[in-house]
């Protein structure tokens, strides 16, 4: 009987993931034909498409009398994309292992510098990496006469090296950071000290003991990195003009093409991770929810009461330099943006043609920097600096709102996850949510948002600006909400296993009392960290959507024989990202570099906030910060235990994902 459980569970979870893929596949067509609010129509369309998808005859179509099979059409592009992502994964992981092997033997102050450098490199969007690599290739070709590598696809000639290198850089940094963290943690364990006492060399300990022990943890952390790589693949294939699997998804919006393409992307990573997990965890888990439960009502959870605790923690954290600098930067950017729009008569300056004293035209859009416009202009003649200042409030406030919705929603759903679900149901939910990691987030967002945000010539949009903004916020929240729910729920579960929490339950403490008196003080700093990470992720999604002309609030499309390029109505930052290809081809690099640096500044500011939160938590227990032991402060948050969780949420032990 146990032998049947594994394949049955595997098939069941795969079918659930497939149903989600089918729901995403029909969304663009249903929203366009039946409207945004027709939920009954969407459900009917999903049921019909399930039967259409099951019928194998519908996996082909006729074109000029020739029958074309969807699977045959997509198989070549799919293998092409799979080669790119596997090559990038192997290169990134291999380089991370090499760098880790050298770094762990360096002095502590050098290691600390390396970690700070990694934090900085992680702020660089994948689009910036691809753009700078292409600029380097063009520069070398112009000045030295030879081409380092092909950086765009011509006809039947495929490009491999440039996209593999570009796609591997950010995963390499992430793997390097994770390997460094878990390796240092493993080196503090007793078995390493015992090996050192026997006279074993550091290199032998590293390769014979440490690497073997950290492999399972690295395997589970790799899931998040692969998730990011899948979204980056969507961008890389566009930048390098590759005809991979994502090219056919965005060029052909038929539900069947979308469904088959997403299924092909989803299947190998599902088999790898879910198969390994289900095989390793075949035995049932101990149920930690068997203690006293009083089934409180939802109105007893103090829906807004926790905001006062967050506000108190915020004042405490402002005393930390990194937190204060990061918070002040974002606050000033938003404040200056509002004041600039209100006080300046012409917030965004536009110059069609620049003329000299004699009336002769000396410059046409896009104008170069350091003239009448400090950062130059875009292809419409609008000042880039003005757009960055005016658009800061839309970009940053939207990202803050989406991040807050993800964390607040994840917290309360995480409370329900921790207090109201049995262990078996938690495991089921964990496995279903895990499947989201095997689909590219940016691509799913593009498919869902395109029917609503894309305007029509003359007719404009079918929905108001407010509806478009709300819909985009809801989509970007809902896509990640299951992940934040399980993440925060597992944080509550881990803290709930501590002795002081179990003692409180045995002494008769209600769930409400345990949550706000014992669990929340531990989880509150973690919420700050998750909030910061979600803010950064939202900004990166806006960068990705901007490349495909999907702008915050909607994309303005003009008609005519020679229509203008798509543009943003709010002048938010991603509107300038859409000029990436034209900027590279025409040499107008300043149009893209300026907004990418603006995104980097916002990301760095949020990283400082996250780092400040970590340092304050470390200081409470005397952990080394910047090589200096810090004693615990006398004024601490009430009921904080002596061992709070302090590492980045991306580095949570894999046990927390295992339920």
User: What are the pLDDT digits (tens) for 597-627?
Assistant: 999 999 999 989 888 887 887 666 444 445 4
- Please state, as a whole number, how many other Cβ atoms lie within 10 Å of the Cβ of residue 466: 9
Instruction: Give the pLDDT band (50/70/90) at residue 1.
Output: low
Distance CA 438, CA 59 (A): 23
Q: In angstroms, what CA-CA distances link 381 with 127, 261, 375, 377?
A: 24, 40, 12, 5
pLDDT surpasses 90 at 88: yes
Burial 369-396 (b: 16+ CB within 10 A, else e): beeebebbbbbebbbbbbbbbbbbbbbb
The answer, yes or no, to whether residue 634 has pLDDT greater than 60, is no
pLDDT digits (tens, 9 = 90+) for 527-583: 888 898 899 999 999 999 998 889 998 888 877 777 777 888 788 898 888 877 777
Distances (CA, A) of 538 to 370, 397, 555, 599: 32, 11, 18, 11
Say which DSSP state 435 is in. Answer: G
Q: How confident is the model at residue 47 (pLDDT cuts 50, 70, 90)?
A: very high
Q: What is the per-residue pLDDT for 430?
A: 79
- Please report which confidence band the pLDDT of residue 400 belongs to, taking 50, 70 and 90 as the band edges: very high
Residues 6 or more apart whose CB falls under 8 angstroms from that of 450 comprise 28, 253, 550
* Averaged pLDDT for residues 430-446: 84
**Structure token digits, residue 500:** 């002081």
Max CA pair span of the chain: 91
Strand partners, 629: 624
Res 583: pLDDT: 79
Number of CB atoms found within 10 A of residue 318's CB:
13
| Highest mean predicted confidence (pLDDT) among 16-20, 268-272, 404-408, 654-658 | 404-408
Structural domains of the chain in order of their starting residue, each with its CATH number: 58-251 (1.10.3720.10), 392-658 (1.10.3720.10)
pLDDT band at 113 (very low <50, low <70, confident <90, very high): confident
Check whether 226 has a pLDDT greater than 60.
yes
Identify the H or E element spanning 625. strand 624-625
* Helices and strands per DSSP (H, E), number in the chain: 25, 8
Q: How far apart are CA 447 and CA 249, in angstroms?
A: 9
Q: Does the pLDDT at position 638 exceed 70?
A: no
The answer to whether residues 302 and 516 touch, using CB atoms and an 8 Å cutoff, is yes
The model carries a pTM of: 0.84
CB 379 within 8 A of CB 582: yes
Task: Report which DSSP code applies to 361.
Answer: E
pLDDT bucket at 644, cuts 50 / 70 / 90: very low
What average pLDDT score do residues 113-121 get? 82
The set of residues, in sequence order, having a beta carbon less than 8 Å from that of 423 and lying 6+ positions away, is 285, 286, 287, 288, 289, 659
Does the pLDDT value for residue 214 go beyond 90? no
Query: Rounded mean pLDDT of the chain?
Result: 81
List CB contacts of 248: < 8 A, sequence separation 6 or more: 73, 74, 77, 257, 261
Report the percent of the chain where pLDDT is more than 70.
86
What is the pLDDT, as a whole number, of residue 199? 80
Average pLDDT of 383-388? 92
């Amino acid at each position: 009987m146990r032998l049947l459980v594994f394949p049955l569970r595997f098939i069941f979870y795969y079918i659930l993931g497939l149903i989600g893929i089918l729901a995403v596949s029909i969304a663009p067509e249903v929203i366009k034909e039946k409207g945004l609010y027709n939920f009954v129509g969407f459900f009917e369309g999903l049921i019909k498409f399930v039967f259409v998808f099951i019928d194998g005859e519908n996996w082909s179509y006729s074109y000029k009398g020739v029958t074309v099979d969807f699977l045959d059409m997509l198989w070549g592009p799919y293998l092409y994309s799979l080669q790119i992502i596997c090559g990038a994964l192997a290169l990134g992981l291999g380089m991370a292992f090499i760098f880790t092997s050298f770094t762990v033997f360096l002095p502590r102050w050098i290691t600390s510098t390396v970690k700070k450098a990694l934090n900085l490199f992680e702020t660089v969007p994948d689009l910036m990496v691809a753009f700078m690599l292409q600029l380097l290739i063009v520069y070398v070709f112009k000045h030295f006469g030879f081409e380092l590598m092909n950086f765009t696809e011509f006809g039947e000639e495929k490009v491999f090296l440039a996209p593999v290198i570009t796609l591997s850089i950010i995963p390499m940094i992430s793997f390097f950071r994770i390997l460094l963290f878990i390796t240092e943690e493993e080196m503090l364990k007793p078995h390493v000290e015992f090996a050192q006492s026997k006279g074993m060399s550091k290199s032998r300990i590293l390769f014979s003991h440490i690497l073997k022990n950290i492999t399972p943890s690295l395997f589970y952390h790799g899931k998040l990195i692969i998730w990011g790589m899948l979204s980056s693949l969507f961008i890389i294939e566009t930048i390098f003009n590759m005809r991979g699997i994502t090219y056919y998804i965005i060029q052909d919006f038929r539900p069947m093409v979308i469904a088959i393409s997403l299924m092909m992307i989803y299947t190998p990573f599902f088999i790898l991770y879910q198969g390994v997990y289900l095989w390793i965890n075949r035995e049932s888990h101990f149920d930690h929810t068997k203690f006293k439960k009083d089934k409180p009502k939802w109105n007893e959870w103090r829906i807004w009461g926790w905001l006062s605790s967050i506000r108190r923690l915020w004042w405490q954290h402002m005393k930390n330099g990194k937190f204060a600098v990061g918070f002040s930067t974002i606050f000033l950017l938003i404040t200056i943006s509002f004041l600039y729009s209100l006080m300046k008569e012409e917030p965004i300056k536009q110059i069609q043609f620049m003329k000299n004293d004699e009336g002769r035209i000396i410059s046409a859009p896009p104008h170069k920097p350091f003239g009448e416009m400090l950062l130059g202009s875009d292809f419409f003649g609008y000042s880039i600096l003005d757009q960055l200042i005016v658009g800061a409030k839309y970009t940053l406030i939207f990202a803050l709102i989406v991040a807050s919705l993800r964390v607040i929603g994840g917290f309360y759903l995480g409370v329900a996850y921790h207090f109201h679900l049995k262990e078996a149901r938690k495991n089921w939910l964990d496995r279903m949510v895990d499947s989201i990691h095997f689909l590219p987030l940016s691509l799913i967002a593009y498919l869902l948002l395109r029917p609503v945000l894309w305007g029509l010539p003359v007719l404009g949009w079918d929905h108001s600006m407010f509806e478009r903004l709300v819909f985009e916020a809801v989509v970007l929240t809902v896509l990640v909400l299951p992940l934040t729910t399980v993440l925060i729920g597992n944080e509550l579960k881990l803290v709930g296993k501590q002795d002081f929490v179990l003692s409180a339950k045995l002494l008769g403490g209600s769930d409400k009392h345990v949550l706000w008196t014992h669990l929340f003080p531990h989880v509150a700093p973690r919420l700050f960290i998750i909030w910061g990470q979600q803010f950064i992720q939202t900004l990166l999604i806006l960068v990705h959507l901007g490349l495909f002309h999907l702008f915050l609030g909607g994309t303005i499309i003009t008609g005519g024989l020679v229509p203008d390029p798509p543009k943003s109505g709010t002048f938010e930052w991603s509107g300038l990202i859409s000029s990436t290809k034209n900027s590279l081809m025409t040499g107008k690099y300043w149009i893209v570099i300026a907004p990418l640096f603006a995104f980097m500044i916002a990301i760095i500011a949020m990283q400082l906030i996250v780092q400040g939160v970590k340092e304050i938590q470390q200081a409470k227990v005397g952990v080394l910060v910047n090589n200096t032991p810090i004693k615990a402060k006398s004024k601490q948050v009430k009921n904080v235990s002596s061992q709070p969780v302090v590492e980045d949420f991306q580095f949570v032990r894999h046990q927390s994902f295992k339920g």
